[in-house]
Chain A
Amino acid sequence: MSQFTQQIILGLLLGGIYVAVALGFSLVWGILNIVNLAHGALVIVGAYITWLLFDRLHVDPFLSLPVDALALFVLGYALQRGVINRVIRAPLLFTFLLTFGINLVIVSLVLLIFTADFRSVTPSYSGNGLHLGSVTIPYIRLGGLAVALLLAGILWAILNRTRIGAAILAVGADRDAAQLVGIDLRHIYALTFAIGAAFAGVAGGIISTSQSITPTAGDPYTLQSFAVVILGGLGRVSATVVGGLAFGLIEVLGQSAPGLGSGYAGAIAFVVLVIVLVVRPRGLLGRLA
């Protein structure tokens, strides 16, 4: 029983990372209609910034998260305004190709700067955890989940409580109508992408505390973000939260099932994804339209 409880907790904690990673991906997809294949690269840039600050200046990884957010926000704004905006109205294939290319460029640059060596961020508390009876909750992962939920709350508040958020949602809903109320499309596009990138950066900072990072370590997170958004549904912050947590749970519970092992983690999750697509294509909480 306590074994099962432990698995549930580990699944939710892993899910927290998926929530953090997928929030920005989901925002950019939902508003700009871009499936951003460079998302994982943005994640890993955030991870390296956290590592750099930890390694050189001994900054606590959780304290470096705002730096990740700010740096990636600026990078994201420039990337969208300077490059991606040129194909914003082009067919999906063009944005696929372009963001795939951006991913390659960023990963190569990271490789040049940081080499392919494994890096890890190991603050003094990294091996510790909360012991409740026979169940253990690692502090690092708990902090990650807390940050993920905080990010979700911030995104929800931006979208639903601010003037800029209303403009972002308006652009996502109807570009022409948004322009007719006076919204500067180019600015909102860039801002949306910048927020998505900032969230990716923070997710990267969290990830650097729980796994070793390499320049290509972000790539799987693009795919997993995609899966989380399909699972949860597009167009709602709550859907990404539910999708991320569910994805983490499925992955952890699946590999502890009899006859399966950790090698099946990815496969199980994607089988569930296919089932969701067949049975409920709009995802667990997605909007109909």
Chain B
Amino acid sequence: MTVGSLLQVDKLTAGFGLTPVLFDVDLELQPGELVAVIGANGAGKSTLLGALSGLVRLERGSVHFGDRRISGLRPEMIVASGLVHVPQGRRLFSTMTVQRNLLLGAYRRRDGRVQQDLQRILQYFPALADKLDRDAGTLSGGEQQMVAIGRGLMARPRLLMIDEPSLGLAPKVVDRVMEIVKTINQDGTAVLLVEQDVVLALEIANRGYVLENGRIAMSGAAADLRRDPAVRKAYLGV
């Protein structure tokens, strides 16, 4: 295990039922980093996040987070350890208010600073401040994505894993969401970003991994990946 890693994934094989979706995935992330996982539809990106957050069962391999082995732990224990997964498609509790959704993000916290954090997080998303009493399902797609990220932040994560935040959003809104993701990272939270929009992801990330058919095909500094001919051909269409 690399010294000082925040997240260390070794030879992870996982999937549903008999056929694995991921094969021998190695991945590592330093404190404070913003790392992107890119790849085509069906490459296994969401399964990877599911395996890290405990929703998908591991067949082989191990996951270490901080100084603990978290593979095999139940999802709620993984959340409690500070690894938080913002799922694809927002997955908000749509008939509950925005405020309740955000507070549920802090479900495992017992400290008294939850209300304080709610105010702090609203500074990232000023648009939500006057919509706290609305049902989450009535918000626009971009606002819902903000609630989803905000709900993740309410757990006080050391590493926030965000799955396809750009999905189904207008280009302008996507830019705004990516800006927020970057700001969150600059404020000290490590981010693992799964994204189909490769250009955007590699623009804000420090490093990237390319996932192809369940295997890591390539990895490196985001700037290098952006220039790599194979990446350009496969994902940027140039």
Contacts and interface: CB of A to CB of B under 8 A. Distances in A.
Interface string B71-115: 000111001100011110001111110001001110110000000
A183 B79 CA distance: 9
B91 A184 contact: no
A181 B95 contact: no
Contacts of B151: 181
Given A176-B55, A180-B55, A180-B79, A170 B85 contact: no
Contacts of A181: 79, 104-105, 107-108, 151, 155
B87 A177 contact: yes
A287 B105 CA distance: 25
A166 B87 contact: no
B91 A166 contact: no
Interface in B40-56: 53-55
Contacts of B87: 176-177, 180
Contacts of A170: 93, 96, 104
Nearest to B53: A180
Given A180-B84, A181-B151, A182-B155, A167 B107 contact: yes
B95 A287 contact: yes
Nearest to A179: B75
Given A166-B96, A173-B95, A184-B74, A179 B107 contact: no
B171 to A, nearest CB: 27
A169 B103 CA distance: 13
- Report, as a range, how many residues of chain A touch the other chain: 10 to 19
A166 B104 contact: yes
Contact of B76 (A166, A173, A174, A179): A179
Interface string A150-191: 000000000000010011011001101101111111000000
Interface string B171-183: 0000000000000
Given A167-B104, A170-B104, A184-B76, A179 B96 contact: no
Contacts of A163: 103, 107
B151 to A, nearest CB: 7
Nearest to B161: A180
A177 B84 CA distance: 11
A287 B95 CA distance: 10
Contacts of A179: 54-55, 75-76
A183 B101 CA distance: 13
A174 B107 contact: no
B186 to A, nearest CB: 24
Contacts of B75: 179-180, 182
Contacts of B104: 166-167, 170, 181, 183
Contacts of B55: 176, 179-180
Given A166-B100, A170-B104, A176-B55, A182 B80 contact: yes
A169 B93 contact: yes
Given A179-B75, A182-B76, A174 B93 contact: yes
A184 B55 CA distance: 12
Nearest to A186: B74
A184 B75 CA distance: 8
A171 to B, nearest CB: 10
B79 A182 contact: yes
A278 B151 CA distance: 40
Contacts of A173: 93-96
A182 B53 contact: no
Nearest to A235: B95
A245 to B, nearest CB: 24
A283 to B, nearest CB: 16
A176 B100 contact: no
A271 B84 CA distance: 50
Contacts of B84: 180
A167 B93 CA distance: 10
Interface of A: 163, 166-167, 169-170, 173-174, 176-177, 179-185, 287
Interface of B: 53-55, 74-76, 79-80, 84-87, 91-96, 100, 103-105, 107-108, 151, 155
Given A163-B103, A179-B54, 11 more contacts: A166-B103, A166-B104, A170-B93, A176-B55, A176-B87, A177-B93, A180-B53, A181-B151, A182-B75, A184-B76, A287-B95
Nearest 7 A-B pairs (CB), nearest first?
A: A182-B79, A182-B108, A177-B91, A179-B75, A182-B76, A184-B76, A182-B107
29 contacts: A166-B107, A167-B104, A167-B107, A169-B95, A169-B96, A170-B93, A173-B93, A173-B94, A174-B93, A176-B55, A176-B87, A176-B91, A177-B87, A179-B75, A179-B76, A180-B55, A180-B79, A180-B85, A181-B79, A181-B104, A181-B107, A181-B108, A181-B151, A182-B75, A182-B76, A182-B80, A182-B108, A182-B155, A183-B104
